[in-house]
Chains A and B, each alone.
Chain A
Amino acid sequence: MTVFHFFNCAILTFGPHAVYYSATPLSEYDTLGTSVKAALVYLGTALVKLVCLATFLKVSDNESFDPYQEFLKALIGFIDVAGLYFALTQLTHRNISQNHKFQAVGLGWAFADSVLHRLAPLWVGARGLEFTWDYILQGLEANANLVLSISLAALGSLMWLRKNKPKTLIPIIYTCAGIVATMPSITSYLRRGLGWHFPEVVGFQLFTSLVMAFISWQLFAACQRPSA
């Protein structure tokens, strides 16, 4: 019955990406290529991040929270933003609207992240006889991550691609993007600094991802209006 459990967890982890692609107009405009490219950019970014982490961070054996190390980690985390910037601006896309572009990039980004970080533990762990909630929670975390990635991509496209946006909204956009980009550091602080358990952290992630998604949606809609 353990393959069953693996199957369930895999559905939870990777299903929403597929659903998102097929349910939204992304599938109609055939933006798969963009998503694949974004995923490749993610791979490159992850590699650069790994190299940076290995170069600048000390290996700590204990699970304690070290502010300086975490600050460095957060800084290195911004490499992600650079990667997203590259994916959004430099990649030559076929003529798809900005609206679909950021969604495709965010989707590819989140999917690559899920495959890279969650597939191997899932394969090794969820097929074992021992039952734990961990893999289900991990799947939920992947969902939150999808929402966050798309929000970040939306905010990024607002920042870098849209020229005529209302002046008053610009600081809000930048703050939101900052918050979303530092999300990994925030969760890491919650887990290690405050000693939260995995379910609580995942709950927090789900909640914040929904909030951020709502905010970025509103911002996007607000920016859309004057141009329309």
Chain B
Amino acid sequence: MAQAKPGGERQVLESMYSMIALVFILVACVELCDAATVVDVYRLIQYDISGAPFGSRLANLNHHAGSLHFAPGSDLSRTVLIIPLRELNISFVKEYITQNQPLGGLLFLLPQIFSIENRERAKSNHQTDGEELLKNDLAELENYLYIPRYLISAQQEFGSSSYLLLLYPVYFAFEDDDIEAVLADVKRNDATGQLATATTGGYKFVVSVPEPKKRASPTITNIQGWLSGLKTDGDANQLPTIAVVASYDTFGAAPALSVGSDSNGSGVVALLEIARLFSVLYSNPKTRGRYNLLFGLTSGGPYNYNGTHKWLRSFDQRQRESIDYAICLNSIGSWDNDLWIHVSKPPENAYIKQIFEGFSNVAEELGVKVGLKHKKINISNPRVAWEHEQFSRLRVTAATLSELSVAPELLESTGSLVDGRPFVNEAAIIKSVKLVAESLARHIYGHEGKNVQIFADNSSLAVNPSYIKSWLDLLSQTPRVAPFLSKNDPFVLALKKELEDHTDEVNVQHEVLDGMFTFYDSTRASLNVYQVASVTFDLLLLLVLGSYLIVLFSFLVITTRGLDDLISLFRRPPSRKVKTA
């Protein structure tokens, strides 16, 4: 019994130890989020073109905050600069980017007007000068953050030889009271001439997200809807087809904020409304035209209209040849008086002439101006600036209707941060819809040159402003960057359903985006703002506490045992040594 007892005790002890260890491990895992402020942040896009890196290359952030008021010459490699758009100095940013200056990170604070949720401002289309300035600033800033063409020009301007890389995380956030308060504090600290570091304390910004991973084989989804014309003598295939096409996906500085209300939300809205109008006409055999109508919502627009390319390739030769012409809608939501028809065949071409005359006649009646722009396509150049160029490459007559007079650069004007709902004019979209629908109808029913209003206001065929508004609102709240849209994204399904309502036959085509582009995920995150104490403070505290305990000890010893005991305490060790020796 006595011999068995120690063994049993040891077992109990051992099991106790493991229990205790387990408890400690569990307790150590408890990590509560106790940040003073948590802010939603949106990361700058990270992508590669043919292996060349662009955009922000990192996502993790754990540095002290600094403001633009830092003392010149200070080391910013461990500082997150907070830059409110209202105080933005574009040349400073350009210089920093082009000279590859070390930075801990960048956080741009955008005014609420650029927020997706900002809907109240959408009511009034009146823009103040301040907002216009902010918009221009932001647009320029964005260009230098991720558009290859601008990065290269900035590189030449500042004479930097090395390759431009943002080797630090770049985030966007919206102004609110919490972050403003933090910024005010940071500014106050920076005004003293010393940046916040571990030794001085201050605010610490922490974003902990996993390392950005490549999106494996991004898919693009094209949606097409057919509205078949009235068959005569049985053979429908002989009916010519008119195509109306708009690309619906976007690409912008922050993928999670890239809603592209104008580019190309306005085009999508216009296409849906045109489909709705013609579905009304085509539902009645008497007003059914002798043309098939093909509506195409294509994806991959920012990437040289890759989706359009794939979509056209999927048609057989006969179908493609039956297309009389195609009208592509691109950015038609914020123009005042001038629209442009972009073509790649010379204006003398008979078909082009016909289209242009059709449009300009209607435009004259609507009181707007339509201009014709001719831009030759270069087959050897992979850059496709307009959607109609994909049609032209396959010898299909096509034109793009757009408010832009010049072709945008690669990835430019495809849903940038400034392209939000407040900057889109519904009236412009309504005018564009009228223009396109009316000229198509006149062509279909052979009323060219006559002054007949088929889609007159207040008739049953009038353009429906509330339909346009609701779709525009939906588009303005849905980021649509193709690599981050899944095949069965609710938005894609909604588009499909809407086209199904207005057309006879809808097909959805899933394709893989061509390999030139690589995208990285983690587009949005939460920024934790911590107010941290400095190491100096902790050391000082330790010193104070240590002396407090020593004083307490001495006080207690003196009061309970007397001063002699206290003194003897310090003498004891040597005397014991003597004893043992």
Contacts and interface: CB of A to CB of B under 8 A. Distances in A.
Interface in B537-579: 538, 541-542, 545-546, 548-549, 552-554, 556-557, 560-561
Interface string B518-538: 000000000010111101001
Given A25-B561, A128-B32, A129-B532, A19 B545 contact: no
Interface in B1-55: 27, 30, 32, 34-36
B243 interface: no
A123 B548 CA distance: 22
A61 interface: no
B502 interface: no
Given A1-B538, A4-B535, A129 B549 contact: no
21 contacts: A1-B198, A1-B532, A1-B533, A1-B538, A4-B542, A16-B549, A19-B552, A19-B556, A20-B552, A23-B552, A25-B561, A123-B27, A124-B30, A128-B530, A129-B35, A129-B206, A129-B530, A129-B532, A130-B35, A130-B532, A131-B531
Contacts of B548: 12
A218 interface: no
Nearest to B198: A1
B191 to A, nearest CB: 21
Nearest to B33: A128
A11 B541 CA distance: 11
B63 interface: no
Contacts of B556: 19-20, 23-24
B111 interface: no
B34 A125 contact: yes
A182 interface: no
A5 interface: yes
Given A130-B36, A131-B531, A23 B201 contact: no
Interface string A103-138: 000000000000000000001110011110000100
A23 B560 contact: yes
A125 B33 CA distance: 10
Interface-centre pick from A25, A123, A124, A128 (highest chain B CB count, 10 A): A128
B545 A12 contact: yes
A11 B543 CA distance: 11
- What band does the interface of chain B fall in when counting residues whose beta carbon is under 8 Å from A? 20 to 34
Contacts, number: 73
A136 B35 contact: no
A140 to B, nearest CB: 10
Contact of B535 (A1, A16, A20): A1
A8 interface: yes
A19 B34 contact: no
A184 B30 CA distance: 30
Nearest to A8: B541
Interface string B386-400: 000000000000000
Contacts of B35: 129-130
- What band does the interface of chain A fall in when counting residues whose beta carbon is under 8 Å from B? 20 to 34
Given A124-B32, A128-B34, A129-B528, 10 more contacts: A1-B198, A11-B546, A11-B549, A12-B548, A19-B553, A24-B556, A24-B560, A128-B530, A130-B530, A136-B541
A15 B549 contact: yes
A3 B532 CA distance: 13
B342 to A, nearest CB: 54
A5 B30 contact: no
A25 B535 CA distance: 37
Contacts of B533: 1, 5, 131
B276 interface: no
Contacts of B561: 24-25
A4 B532 CA distance: 12
Contacts of B541: 5, 8, 136
B34 A23 contact: no
A8 B549 contact: no
Given A22-B553, A128-B32, A8 B532 contact: no
6 smallest CB-CB distances across A and B, nearest first, come from: A23-B556, A129-B530, A131-B533, A128-B34, A130-B530, A23-B553
Contacts of B34: 125, 128-130
B204 interface: yes
Nearest to B540: A8
Given A129-B204, A130-B531, A8 B552 contact: no
Contact of A19 (B206, B530, B542, B549): B549
A15 B548 CA distance: 10
A7 B198 CA distance: 18
B341 to A, nearest CB: 58
Nearest to B201: A131
Interface string A8-49: 100110011001101111000000000000000000000000
A7 B541 CA distance: 11
A125 B530 CA distance: 13
Interface-centre pick from A4, A19, A20, A23 (highest chain B CB count, 10 A): A23
Interface in B176-204: 198, 201, 204
Contacts of B557: 23-24
A19 B554 CA distance: 10
Interface-centre pick from B35, B201, B204, B552 (highest chain A CB count, 10 A): B552
A75 to B, nearest CB: 34
Given A20-B556, A25-B560, A130-B34, A8 B531 contact: no
A124 B557 CA distance: 35
A66 B398 CA distance: 79
A131 B532 contact: yes
